[in-house]
Amino acid sequence: MDTAIYLRKSRAEEYSQPQEETLAMHKEILLSYAGNHNLNITGVYEEVVSGESLFSRPQMLKLLEAVQNHTYAAVLCMDIDRLGRGGMKDQGIILDAFKYSGTKIITPEKTYDLSDELDEELTEFKTFLSRRELKMINKRLNRGLRQTIKNGGYVSNAPYGYCKIRKDKLPSLEIVEEEANFVRMMFDLYLQGEGCSAIAQTVNALGAKPRRCDAFSRNSVMHILKNPVYIGQVVWERTQHVRQNGSSTKHVVSCAPKDWLCVRGVHPSIVSPETFARVQNRIHSRTVPAHNDGTIKNPLAGLVTCGVCGRVLQRRGAHQSSPYLLCPTPGCVCGSKFSLVLKEIEAVLKPILSAIPLELYPLEGKDTSLLELSLAQSQKQLMSFSSQRITLYSLLEQGVYDIATFQERMSALNENIRCTKMRAAVQEQRLRRMREESIPLEMKKIKSVQDVYRILNAGDKNLLLKCFIEKIMYTKPKGAAPQQFCLEIHLKPF
């Protein structure tokens, strides 16, 4: 019968032998088993990845798609846990695909037919055990990692200026003097008043080469200036990966400094603690708080790329009267006023968007009767409180209330008035918002996509433009006039 082979290198074998040897050994075992049992191998899926997350395993996703399409009668693997040992949700997706397609799972030890109740229960039990095993492995790995860091070891990639070594059985760092000289120069230049962009240009001109890109940028220089590894420290757990709103993907969030794991490393320092402290003080004194509220201010965000280096152009100087569109690569193409570039692009797109008809249907207005009734009751209560205030003064003048009683009653009345006014203000605001939402925005004037674009905010304009534009290539020679730039607009097929 037609059978697929699935091979995955597990984390348990990560340090025991090379990846190629592990997969080759497993493949040889499974091919031998297939030959002895007359299995027709028509597909091989292999990958080196943790079995914890299904959606980070492209080969497994391809195999599941083939299984659901009844491409194979069986899948041959070393063990059940090779298919995955992540969460219950991922396990359910995998087992359901095999169960409802009638595809068997074959291992050298046993063949599992999930249409059989006993096999299904055995498979679920084995996947449960594999999940427990994964949790224990992760727990031991994290415990060993933290202990290594507490002992002063360095487990991450070597930063610029260092290379990885082992010192007293601990992973550590050794100074690369040629690179370390540039690191010291960055700290010295910053203390002399140079900015990060100027420092990046200086070290690039002197021949400094970073590890993972072609040249230093202002961001990479700032990262070096803030990195405590250069004074012999090891900092861990500055970020953590969390899932938000039930998402299957993890997001990186910054941890508070009090939650960092900061220890003295066994590696030598490149700069002195005094120099590092002076640099940090200068960084903090020059830091301008970010005003990012999470909304997009640039309608062209992610669309305009440099025609020379290919990087995405950025909108800079938003706090000034005239923001510019600039290439992040120092010394690349000249920038232009953002308004001029946007105006040119909108002029090109206007006839295209105007030619696309659009018919909108107004939404039914929201029922505001209950909210109007509540607001009327609040206003009625305020009028009643005004009458009670007059009565209190009358009772005080007549001698019915003494001063203490009057103050107590007046204080309680003022608190009721304050709460009722706040409730009425909230009700008025909600009522106003509901009425505005029920009114169609220039509904009769909207006849095309261009009419919609005209009334959108910057973020929505950006989403709309990305529906029609693949990319925009921007070039501008040095010494050119403000409007002498060239735009090459690539539209998506529609």
Asked whether residue 456 is assigned to any structural domain, the reply reads yes
Asked whether residue 445 is assigned to any structural domain, the reply reads no
Same structural domain for residues 251 and 122? no
Reported as a pLDDT band with limits 50, 70 and 90, residue 441 is very low
Reported as a pLDDT band with limits 50, 70 and 90, residue 445 is low
CATH of residue 27's domain is 3.40.50.1390
Of 226, 183, 187, nearest to 206 by C-alpha is 183
Q: Has residue 447 got a pLDDT over 50?
A: yes
Q: Residues 205-237: pLDDT tens digits?
A: 899 999 888 889 888 999 999 999 999 999 988
pLDDT of residue 286: 77
Same structural domain for residues 215 and 246? yes
pLDDT of residue 285: 83
Asked whether residue 149 is assigned to any structural domain, the reply reads no
Same structural domain for residues 432 and 455? no
Q: Residues 193-210: pLDDT tens digits?
A: 898 989 998 999 899 999
Reported as a pLDDT band with limits 50, 70 and 90, residue 86 is confident
Same structural domain for residues 180 and 259? yes
pLDDT of residue 268: 94
Distance separating alpha carbons of residues 106 and 111, to the nearest angstrom = 4
Same structural domain for residues 228 and 313? no
Same structural domain for residues 38 and 132? yes
Same structural domain for residues 279 and 308? no
pLDDT of residue 11: 52
pLDDT of residue 276: 95
Q: Residues 96-141: pLDDT tens digits?
A: 999 999 999 999 999 999 988 898 899 888 888 888 888 888 889 8
Asked whether residue 397 is assigned to any structural domain, the reply reads yes
Exposed / middle / buried, residue 382 (Cβ in 10 Å: 0-12, 13-18, 19+): middle
* pLDDT higher at 430 or 172: 172
- 3-class SS letters over the chain: CEEEEEEEECHHHCCCCCHHHHHHHHHHHHHHHHHHCCCEEEEEEEEECCCCCHHHCHHHHHHHHHHHCCCCCEEECCCHHHCCCCCHHHHHHHHHHHHHHCCEEECCCCEECCCCHHHHHHHHHHHHHHHHHHHHHHHHHHHHHHHHHHCCCCCCCCCCCEEEEEECCEEEEEECHHHHHHHHHHHHHHHCCCCHHHHHHHHHHCCCCCCCCCCCCHHHHHHHHHCHHHHCEEEECCEEEEECCCCCCEEEEECCHHHCEEEECCCCCCCCHHHHHHHHHHHHHHCCCCCCCCCCCCCCCCCEEECCCCCECEEECCCCCCCEEECCCCCCCCCEEHHHHHHHHHHHHHHHHHCCECCCCCCCCCCCHHHHHHHHHHHHHHHHHHHHHHHHHHHHHCCCCCHHHHHHHHHHHHHHHHHHHHHHHHHHHHHHHHHHHCCCCCHHHCCEHHHHHHHCCHHHHHHHHHHHEEEEEEECCCCCCCCCCEEEEEECCC
Query: Residue 396 corresponds to which tokens in the numbers above?
Result: 């005080």
CATH of residue 179's domain is 3.90.1750.20
Asked whether residue 417 is assigned to any structural domain, the reply reads yes
Asked whether residue 299 is assigned to any structural domain, the reply reads no
What residues make up the domain containing 81? Answer: 2-141
- Most confident listed range (145-159, 372-386, 435-449): 145-159
Distance separating alpha carbons of residues 265 and 172, to the nearest angstrom = 8
pLDDT of residue 439: 47
pLDDT of residue 183: 95
pLDDT of residue 212: 86
pLDDT of residue 398: 79
Question: Structural domain tally of the chain?
Answer: 4
Q: Residues 235-286: pLDDT tens digits?
A: 988 888 776 655 556 677 788 878 888 999 999 999 999 999 999 999 988 7
Asked whether residue 35 is assigned to any structural domain, the reply reads yes
Same structural domain for residues 322 and 468? yes
Reported as a pLDDT band with limits 50, 70 and 90, residue 444 is low
Same structural domain for residues 224 and 132? no
When pLDDT is averaged across residues 285-293 and rounded to a whole number, the result is 65
Which amino acid type is present at position 371?
L
pTM of the entire structure?
0.56
Q: Does residue 189 contact residue 202 with C-beta atoms inside 8 Å?
A: yes
pLDDT of residue 396: 76
| Residue-wise burial string across 108-133, b where 16 or more C-beta atoms lie within 10 A, e elsewhere | eeeebbbeeeebbeebbebbeebbee
Same structural domain for residues 425 and 467? no
Q: Has residue 363 got a pLDDT over 70?
A: no
- Mean pLDDT of all residues belonging to the chain: 84
Q: Residues 393-438: pLDDT tens digits?
A: 787 777 777 888 888 888 888 888 888 888 888 888 887 777 666 5
Of 72, 70, 55, nearest to 6 by C-alpha is 72
Long-range contacts of 211-216 (CB under 8 A, 24+ apart): 211/160, 215/329, 215/330
Asked whether residue 363 is assigned to any structural domain, the reply reads no
pLDDT of residue 458: 87
Same structural domain for residues 382 and 354? no
Same structural domain for residues 431 and 345? no
